[in-house]
Every structure is written in C-alpha cells, then in structure tokens.
Amino acid sequence: MLLVTFYPQRAVAVLEPHGRLTRRDFEEAASIIDPFIEGADRIKGLVIKAQHFPGWDSFGALVEHMKFIWDHHEQIGRVAMVTDSPLGAVAEALGGHFVDAEIREFPYTDLSAAMQWISETGP
C-alpha cells in the first residue's frame, strides 16, 4: 500500500509505502496528484518517506513505478527522500541524471526538514 497525502496549499505530496508496492499504488498516486498538476502545471515537491525501501510485488509494479516517474518528473520541482535506506543516497546521486527534479536525502526522523527544503522552491 502507498499512502499518499497531498497538501494543495503547499503544492507538496507525501508518499509513504507500507509493504511491497503494487501497480495500483502508482495509479492511485497519479489520480491524486495529476488533477493539481493539470491546474497549476507543476507541484513544488514530492516527499518519499520510507524507513526502508519495501520493493515491488511484481515486475509490472516496477514498470508502473518507472512510468509514474517518467510521466511526472518534469512537473515536480524537488524530491525529498526521507529514509534510512542506502537507496536514498543512490537516488540522490543518480536521480539528477534521469529526472528534472532536484533530489535530496534526509534522515527518516527529519520529515520537517524535508518539507522546509521543498517549501523553499518557487511556485
């Protein structure tokens, strides 16, 4: 399950995976985020909050995850990886080569710093 909390006044979405990710998780995330993007062209940021990366339940879920990234990377200003997983550092190091968003890693216990960093971006 992927819990998606969207803060329209901040133009920020927080994604919190609980268990292995499914294709449906990314479809539901898009259904929450896309209406705002359609009206505003972009969101300030996306926070991915996961103490450890849970993985995917199938190859189809991985493909849907990649599609979600491809479909949204130009409409997201910043991505905060709030995690204790070593994959957060990998995402920060490699992400800039594949997506337009600026990516930064934060400790799992520091959601407030991640939200502050994202709020520093322009509209």
CATH topology of domain 2-119: Transcription Regulator spoIIAA (3.30.750)
Res. 92 pLDDT band, cuts 50 70 90 = very low
Neighbours of 106 (CB within 10 A): 21
pLDDT of residue 69: 81
Q: Give residue 4's pLDDT band: very low, low, confident or very high (50, 70, 90).
A: very high
98 pLDDT above the threshold of 70: no
pLDDT for position 93: 46
**3-state DSSP assignment of residue 54:** coil
Mean pLDDT of 75-89: 79
Distance CA 15, CA 12 (A): 10
For 14-34, the pLDDT digits (tens) are 999 999 999 999 999 999 999
Whole-prediction pTM: 0.83
CA distance 68 to 76: 12
Q: Domain extents for the chain?
A: 2-119
